[in-house]
Amino acid sequence: MTPVLRWAVLVVALLVYPFADRALGLQTVHAVSDGMIYVLLALGLNIVVGYAGLLDLGYAAFFAIGAYAMGLLNSPVVGSPFYGHGWSFWLCIWVAAAVSALLGTAIGAPTLRVRGDYLAIITLGFGEIIPVAIRNLGDITVDIGGWRPIERLNLTGGENGVNPIGRPHLPGVPFETDPVPWYFLILIVGAVLTILAIAVDLSWSPPWWIHVVWIPVGLALTVAGLRTAKSWLIAQEFAHRAREGKIAP
């Protein structure tokens, strides 16, 4: 079977699946849609750990930050002006992505100074801090010398999460009652992210992100007395062959 035919079969299977599920009465679309959300997480993790070689054990924390940013922006919990409009979901999803990216940059930039086990420990700690902080933000009290400007504020809903959250709105699409539109929405987002990742991967030879883990190799060779240009070429060739699966990084 040729690669084109394999991709065609996969696309047809993904498009037909929810209708076959409904016809057979299996009712698995909701569970599969939840699983596809974690596939989106794995796409990003593949770049950070697989390509860049950064052992980030707290990657899911940024996923949580984006999810709660989306929930709070599109919910009446904090009096968000975006809640209650037909376009709210489609705007908030971009704002939440920007918030997650900014926090990821602010928190992740200092950790790039370390490598290996040290990076794993730092990111693991961050990954454990975020869930605890989110749960504790379900009951916030600020006490300043007996004056409490904020008392028992339920920001994140604690263990129960943010509720209610506005749903997507498209004319004639029943997001409120049918899991199939959610399935196709997540499928489209996943397809776009996959295409973008492949496009960036193919736009560089080797791609720029794979240099992150091998930059110290070039620096070490330089310090050892080799010429700078030669050391960088060795590091890049090593990374390129690792990417092709010829040697293990």
Q: Following DSSP, what letter does each residue of 5-64 receive, concatenated?
A: HHHHHHHHHHHHHHHHHHHHT---HHHHHHHHHHHHHHHHHIIIIIIS----TTHHHHHH
Find the domain containing 131 and state its range: 54-166
Categorize the per-residue pLDDT at 211 as very low, low, confident or very high, splitting at 50, 70 and 90.
Answer: low
Secondary structure of residue 142 in the 3-state scheme: strand
Domain identity same for 23 and 82: no
Domain identity same for 220 and 248: yes
Domain identity same for 96 and 149: yes
- Predicted structure pTM score: 0.75
- Asked if the model's pLDDT at residue 241 lies above 70, the reply is no
Domain identity same for 140 and 237: no
Q: How much of the chain exceeds pLDDT 70, in percent?
A: 80
Quote the number of domains for the chain.
Answer: 3
Domain identity same for 98 and 162: yes
Average pLDDT over the chain, rounded to whole? 78
Domain identity same for 239 and 188: no
Domain identity same for 41 and 97: no
Secondary structure of residue 84 in the 3-state scheme: coil
With a CB cutoff of 8 Å and minimum separation 6, the contacts of 232 are: 218, 222
- Asked if the model's pLDDT at residue 28 lies above 90, the reply is yes
* Most confident stretch, 15-24, 34-43, 135-144: 15-24
Domain identity same for 78 and 130: yes
Domain identity same for 74 and 132: yes
Q: Which of 145, 166, 187 is where one domain is finished?
A: 166
pLDDT in tens, 31-43: 999 999 888 888 8
Which structure tokens are listed for 18? 């929810």
Domain identity same for 131 and 211: no
Domain identity same for 189 and 230: no
